[in-house]
Amino acid sequence: MNAAPTRRPVALVVDDAPELSLLLGFFLTQSGFDVRSVADGESALVEAERSHPDLVCLDLMLPRMCGLEVCERLRAQHATARSLVVITSARRSLADRADAMRAGADAFLSKPVELLELSAIIERVRAGERHAS
């Protein structure tokens, strides 16, 4: 009797900069994630509802809807309420970090994203600290 295949964790990368989206996507794929990528806030919400991501890497400044609003909406959706949300931004102020935390983000990474920091967050997903159900 064969065991059911193990579900790979899903990561959603939301960034309008194609080069960063590709870099994060490659890194997350190598880390064992099934990666989905979109370039704007509205598409992020649609894809999140469809794929129930365990991890969302979300740019702060996006077309069609800012990352903070996307984060708040992800927290309000049943499918993504427990997803680990990481806001990424070139902005580095404490006010931006505080705004991200108030919106429901689990972490804030400054661009350029340090892959070592992202690795520590990936470990939280693997440990099941917070994930989509």
**116: in domain:** yes
For residue 131, being part of any structural domain is answered with no
38-82 residue pLDDT tens = 999 999 999 999 999 999 999 999 998 999 999 999 999 998 999
pLDDT tens per residue across span 101-113: 999 999 999 999 9
* Assigned domain for 3 exists: no
Q: What residues make up the domain containing 84?
A: 10-126
Question: Are residues 70 and 44 in contact, defined by beta-carbon separation less than 8 angstroms?
Answer: yes
Residue 1 confidence (pLDDT) above 60:
no
CA dihedral 89, 58, 102, 75 (to 10 degrees): 180
Domain containing residue 107: CATH number: 3.40.50.2300
| Average pLDDT of span 23-50 | 97
* Mean model confidence pLDDT for the chain: 92
Rounded CA-CA distance 65/47 in Å is: 14
Task: Compute the distance between CA of residue 65 and CA of residue 40 in angstroms, rounded to an integer.
Answer: 7
